[in-house]
Amino acid sequence: MDSAKKPSWAGRILSGLAVAFLIFDSVIKFTGGAAVSQAMNQLGFPVHLAPAIGALELVLLAIYLFPRTSVLGAILWTGYLGGAIVLHVRVGNPLFSHVLFPIYVALLLWGGLYLREDRLRQLLPLRS
């Protein structure tokens, strides 16, 4: 395999992991199941907002997945996930499993994007 292709494939894998989780998280909000109700109640949201939040997540995913807007999508996801961190801190959820989980997702989103997007690597080189 060409060494120039390795970052692209690694980036696709990292992005794919994040996207797979985010698709699951978005779609489950439309089911109205007990887990969704419990999570929404714990975070202080009315359950009827779950589908709207799921729809927002799907819009953000579309923006992230479209190559021309992928950086904007990553920026928007960073804001969304930052809000999730604040919510988990506010309700006193465990650090590693809840509070930091949005950071793990953001690292996958940004890491995948960085490895597959030449323009981003030029803008933010890891070495000079």
Q: What does the pLDDT look like over 81-127, one tens digit per residue?
A: 999 999 999 999 999 989 999 999 999 999 999 999 988 999 999 87
Predicted pLDDT of residue 69: 96
Percentage of the chain lying above the pLDDT 90 cut: 85
The answer to the question of residue 124 being in a domain is no
Work out the pLDDT band at 128, boundaries 50, 70, 90. low
pLDDT digits (tens, 9 = 90+) for 24-53: 999 999 998 999 999 999 999 999 999 999
Distance of CA 43 to the CA centre of its chain: 18
- How many domains is the chain partitioned into structurally? 1
The answer to the question of residue 47 being in a domain is yes
Predicted pLDDT of residue 127: 79
The answer to the question of residue 101 being in a domain is yes
The answer to the question of residue 126 being in a domain is no
The answer to the question of residue 122 being in a domain is no
> Quick one: DSSP state of residue 123?
H
- What's the CA gap between 128 and 122, in Å, rounded? 10
pLDDT digits (tens, 9 = 90+) for 10-25: 999 999 999 999 999 9
Range of the domain at 12: 5-116
User: Is 104:98 a contact under the CB 8 Å cutoff?
Assistant: no
